[in-house]
Structure 1
């Protein structure tokens, strides 16, 4: 099997869900000697965040062309007996077997204007011209049929995984920190999270990633929970695992997710989760999290009040450890490999 991966994602983001997905997937792929892997890296990059091992991967370096992110990828040097898979909704210049992964429909739901038009144009074009389309959850597959209907038999649901870097640490001392991970804008409902914690003076908010706090965010934090918050920026998997192990809970108030990796990470670490029963979150959390019906302060207050029960906390932790076992990057790899193999038949 000859596989060509278009690594344009490294030129579009320094880190993020798509980067994590392909980095984890490729780590397994490069150990599979039955696959001939070629990875195309476009320069300049925002960060070489996809790890490559020269022994098991042929790296092709290319300079970016004008408007590179929107252009098709020249695959003429690789022949026609390849499978092409882009890290971000691009197509090959030649008629070869093509797979596209769809992570979510946040642009279609929450963006407006030219940014949405261009993103959707590129995404929909890739979806319609791919032989098979991978969706990272059933909810994403349902959204695909809503925004860009195609033949259902072209869709394959392959769940994201969770790094083995997340696990319970024996004897860890619990604290009163509530973890908020990732982006904070739009549908992520950061404001609701802060206003909820205003009602629980014994808790503090630990903010991970998502870029530096804006002046508006700092003003909100100072108004609602002064002296009870910290922003840690981007940290390693091992560092985040330690935070989850110590934490009171993960607070994930997002109104929409294509998958929601932090939910699975927290559960795998033995950390209770408070989230919203929406989009893909119920698929990931199952019955192992406190899921509210709507993203409101009143709903979250009720959930945090429930979480004061030690019996409930113990049950959520135990159920979460079981639920998280359903998701692994190795399974994601094996399921994706099955998609490739379908195209070889």
Structure 2
């Protein structure tokens, strides 16, 4: 037996009692983890009642699906076009969509429509804008064939099907198999959906849980937030409990949870400390220092740090959650785990210390360097695959140097330059001038008897230390010096050691305190790297008054400025000259003074502040801010008619503005769920589009502002041109967030039009 999705081998997974009488075998694909049954001989009996209790033919679920569909239709597709519900059952979804003005049809070869007469039996010449297929895919005996049939109607499919949880449950452990009904014979995973998308040359957008969009359109990377996929998915995150129970009670309980979440407006950012599981190198130093800075500034209250197997250093003032170790061989399961954690913690944003990602929570990618992409690497290695996945799924980007930011955009041209924020690394306060007495004690401790050149983490490859060793070997005065090498766990490659026979080489694993003394006593730090994302040892050396010899490559001139001697990375003669030049007292003194001044430009507090601002700004990306942004604060406790009329005036006013395509209308939704707000606003916009023929409404960007923390409002206000006054204004909300300080305009106020750029 082969997998029905990717044609890979399958293995026996479980056996379960179907329809309470048939022993049925389930098989799982080794490649995509898709689960299928043996040949489903029981289906005729299972479909005696075509609408099963676990299907979506329930009013409460159709209302939720109608809200989702309205949002997708209005934001992504042409709402004046035709739409089709595939597997439409009694036609309840279709009639709900018709009520709000969409031209919706139904198709179901097993069930007669009750609520609508708009049904079709075959594809038509004019394709549909979108096909919905809610609770359909899990019924497919031959998924690829069935999907091909759907694509004859439209190249865009909005579907729901619950994905296999990361703990890989059997039918006895997970109710979505619905063995008592016998109709769910195909269980999908994110990877299986990705394969389906690739087979049909489509793009996949998913909340990683329940709602998925297969489309020929290329949508923004944050489409999950624009279309609110995670929110719709969250409505059903307890679906295994509610499918065959009291669906109304289940949804009511979930709505209560949603309302509670709306009241919690504290920004929450999840940080995966996975790097500490693997390494204790410079990146680990960066993150430890950032956490300490954020504790000092108070930003740490917005963070939850994930500690892989308890490997992340504990810092007082940081909240931690210990989770299982990362495994590159099981990345899909890890993404599902991270998404589950983000959902449980109510995370607004995710950032990883080393390339891990959740499925749908917006993430910020931290770029340290682009060495593999610039110098070449085996991109089939799991680490680099994960890096590229993280880059492609990020909403925003941080880089530790301008050069790294440029290389990121050059290697991934789809990334807008302005979405990459630069935050230079700082230098620890411990790296400072040392006294002669301290330096002498250090040299005595390690038996250093002569002047020495210092190398930090020397190696071949991109570290390029061979150019120093070859040049040093040619110095006629070489036996008057020793070499001190630190990092690399006290190891030095034989290839380098053999270049300088007879030279005393000290390979020392040093603490930061001792590294400061090593810098202070060195003739120079020699750092001939071909590429660096930043070059932290160079900055540390400058701060300690240590002259630096380095290359004019990548970010190194950005860090060292005019305070270093530069040598091309393949220029052995040039390196020899620099090794001699740095010994001249006047040259040394000039480099030391320039280096101390250059080091003052970098600080960890500055980096922490820049990153904090970038992370907060990233949480505002779903608002789709444009050149001009206006906000309204409707009082949702007033009648639907009053709120609807107020919003209709605001949307009409923006839509008729000559620069509406450069404007965003922000709607505060304190006191109402986003689903309810979206349903009302979609109806208002649809009414303007269809009854007033106001086509400009299609170009009007409308974003909902869920309850924000104070720190987010402070970041948002500078982007706002003003507040539009409504008759149904919520004055309490306006006062609570400090929006009284914004310029306020009535819709009749000519100054709104005068503000056109």
Alpha-carbon distance, 1:222 to partner: 4.6
Kindly indicate whether the alpha-carbon contact (under 8 Å) linking 1:183 and 1:211 is maintained by their aligned counterparts in 2.
no
Which gives a bigger RCO, structure 1 or 2 (Cα 8 Å, sep 6+)?
1
Alpha-carbon distance, 1:114 to partner: 4.9
Out of 238, 247, 271, the residue aligned to residue 522 of structure 2 is 247
Counterpart CA distance in 1 for 2:606 and 2:374 is: 29
Out of 18, 40, 46, the residue aligned to residue 283 of structure 2 is 18
Alpha-carbon distance, 1:275 to partner: 0.4
Change over 3 Å in CA distance of 1:168–1:107 after alignment to 2 = same
Counterpart of 2:345? 78
Out of 535, 560, 566, the residue aligned to residue 260 of structure 1 is 535
| 1:8-34 deviation per Cα after TM superposition (whole angstroms, max 9, x unaligned) | 112222x11221111111111123335
Alpha-carbon distance, 1:89 to partner: 1.4
Alpha-carbon distance, 1:180 to partner: 0.3
Indicate yes or no: 2:302 matched with 1:36: yes
Structure 1: gaps (5+ residues): none
Kindly indicate whether the alpha-carbon contact (under 8 Å) linking 2:368 and 2:533 is maintained by their aligned counterparts in 1.
yes
Change over 3 Å in CA distance of 1:281–1:114 after alignment to 2 = closer
TM-score, normalization by structure 1: 0.89
Counterpart of 1:208? 486
Alpha-carbon distance, 1:131 to partner: 2.1
| 1:118-176 deviation per Cα after TM superposition (whole angstroms, max 9, x unaligned) | 33432222223222200111110111112112111111011011111100123356861
Kindly indicate whether the alpha-carbon contact (under 8 Å) linking 1:124 and 1:148 is maintained by their aligned counterparts in 2.
no
Largest Rg, 1 or 2: 2
Counterpart CA distance in 1 for 2:458 and 2:306 is: 28
Out of 206, 213, 228, the residue aligned to residue 504 of structure 2 is 228
Counterpart CA distance in 2 for 1:213 and 1:266 is: 21
Indicate yes or no: 2:305 matched with 1:52: no
Counterpart CA distance in 1 for 2:548 and 2:604 is: 21
- How many residue pairs get aligned? The number is 333
Kindly indicate whether the alpha-carbon contact (under 8 Å) linking 1:197 and 1:203 is maintained by their aligned counterparts in 2.
no
Deviates more, 1:69-78 or 1:321-330: 69-78
Counterpart of 2:457? 182
Counterpart of 1:119? 383
Counterpart CA distance in 2 for 1:211 and 1:152 is: 38
What secondary structure, in the 3-state scheme, does the structure 1 residue paired with 2:304 have? strand
Counterpart CA distance in 2 for 1:84 and 1:169 is: 40
Out of 330, 337, 343, the residue aligned to residue 605 of structure 2 is 330
Deviates more, 1:160-169 or 1:4-13: 4-13
Counterpart of 2:431? 166
| 1:46-94 deviation per Cα after TM superposition (whole angstroms, max 9, x unaligned) | xx353422xx2221111236535673223121114x2211111122233
Calculate the aligned-residue CA RMSD, in Å: 2.1
Change over 3 Å in CA distance of 1:322–1:49 after alignment to 2 = farther
TM-score, normalization by structure 2: 0.42
Alpha-carbon distance, 1:223 to partner: 4.8
Counterpart CA distance in 2 for 1:288 and 1:135 is: 23
Out of 319, 323, 327, the residue aligned to residue 62 of structure 1 is 323
Kindly indicate whether the alpha-carbon contact (under 8 Å) linking 1:7 and 1:42 is maintained by their aligned counterparts in 2.
yes
| 1:249-278 deviation per Cα after TM superposition (whole angstroms, max 9, x unaligned) | 100011110000000000000000000011
